[in-house]
Structure 1
């Protein structure tokens, strides 16, 4: 694969970013959805990008903070969009800041609005089929730099890495708890977090694991479980909030709905149905925080993680566990969900608790 991709159209829209898999995914969306007035170019090498924009008239440039100084004084670029972690940072420069870690649809909308304001371009035109530029070849990728989002640290231009201290009691919305590493106390961690947040605001805990061990964690059984709630949602009931209140139990001040007992039933629920359920709960009920204790068998797992305002990933420092963590993070990036990592907090669990559980099991 060459260092550049092109969509055969008129005008030039240049894209270059340090996060290779992330921008590959976004480039595909841009090239299919943006107006039919551009040729789209994707570069992974900033030097090749600079060579191109210095020699070729560029209508729109989408790049990142890391390359902003390089492109600052390049003349003739009509519109510059800069990926940033601080929306206010570039407003006084004429560049348009684009918050990196948000859904691709919102990024696309902000770019469309920026283009409309400057050029009044028709944004509904169909896009032609991609093809290679004729009569010109571009260098093969050399020195490709892949920068992976670090869950516990954020790398920002001009300052060293620093740990970000987060106060979960100030977060409102969906909080996801997920780990590719099992039997390390994830559910207990999720419940304790929910109980802590419940001291400040209404919280609902949902366990979306195939084998939740609900009888162990929730000995006080209620008459209905999560499956009944899904059924209620599908009935388009108007008394949704009242119905949920009749299903909930309480543990340490935190409300919960018993998990589904049959894993095969859990697997039949589609990802879009889960997302609709979560939206309905936050819109129609009293809860300000929804705690999701997520398992591997849930459909649409990555999309659910993306919907979370924060994701906690418990782990242990053990070779097999760290290998699973690495694979999970790489999978997120490769499938276009690398933005989930920017909202992820990794929580190291104590080995002692795991060893005690294992010893008890072996007795």
Structure 2
């Protein structure tokens, strides 16, 4: 994707630089960002450099800006009344995340998407978390691993449980989810980088695509389609790790596990758990997926005296220490 210029103009310096910092931290944003505290500097810059998108405070907007070499303009509305003739207004005082999403929506409406290519030189590594045993902290383990990796790397987490409960745990409402990513992947694949950037949420620096409310929404998706989607995510982003929190409801589960760099399976010591593991491993053998078994690390988690109260605290405590050791000794050992 060719870098284009996003200009941000606002006389409130503290607001301006905080917004620019937040936007620059979103590596999927397909622009280089230039900040201006006054309209005169903006005009001088535009006389030499084409601006693809201008984000400007309502108090600084002038109608004659339309005559400058600026492809598209968004007004940061401060008054609550629409400003600019035919210019899209967005709420200046919403979160930086909200402004980011509005920018990406504008990209979809106005910016011609280029063909996607890998935004970083290294391939994306897929880590699969799957166990046939229920209630064994698989999701907690997956989220902890993702957030620990996110301290040093770009990480995307995807949850495929039937009932993840993630929106309730985070007390957030999600307007889009994995099914929307699939829709755009099938219908507007050339714009997936833009769409994806506007859909992801974040916990402690780890990006995630909100899971579906109804697992039936994914019932028609084949394993081959999932693998193609993961390839497109890799091509259209700079993610270094993709963490998959998997369940049996996914078609092509074994093929997905086969494509993983690492597979982690949480076990328990009781007889029922042992019987389920034996049946699962026998199925891998019968269906000639022993390569999946070979790359799988099984973990019988110790008893943790206290788990974190919320998902944002998962990088602290006993579980975090346990998972951090796995990251350092098992993942980094093989990746250097």
Structure 1 length normalisation: TM-score?
A: 0.49
Query: Would you say the 8 A contact 1:222–1:248 is kept in 2?
Result: no
| Gap regions ≥5 residues in structure 1 | 1-169, 356-363
Counterparts in 2 of 1:3-22, with a 5 A limit? none
User: Post-superposition shift, 1:206?
Assistant: 0.3
1:215-294 correspondence runs (5 A): 215-294=167-246
Distance 2:165 2:222 in 1: 22
Q: Distance in 2 between matches of 1:228 and 1:175?
A: 23
Aligned CA-pair RMSD: 2.4
- Provide the aligned length of Structure 1 versus Structure 2: 188
1:291-302 to structure 2, matched below 5 A, reads 291-302=243-254
- The equivalent residue for 1:177 is 129
Shift of the alpha carbon at 1:265?
Answer: 1.3
The structure having more radius of gyration, on CA atoms, is: 1
1:326 aligns with 2:260: no
Deviation at 1:185, TM superposition (A): 0.8
Q: Deviations over 1:308-337 (max 9, x none)?
A: 010000111111101111111111011010
- TM-score w.r.t. length of structure 2: 0.53
Q: Distance in 2 between matches of 1:203 and 1:282?
A: 11
Aligned to 1:345, the other structure's residue is in SS state strand
Following superposition, which runs of at least 4 residues in structure 1 exceed 3 angstroms of deviation?
A: 350-355
Residue 335 of structure 1 is aligned with which of 284, 287, 299?
287
Which residue is 2:165 aligned to? Answer: 213
State the SS of the aligned residue for 1:268. Answer: coil
Give the gaps of 5 or more residues in structure 2.
Answer: 1-121, 308-336
CA distance in 2, matches of 1:239, 1:353: 47
CA separation in 2, counterparts of 1:337 and 1:219?
A: 39
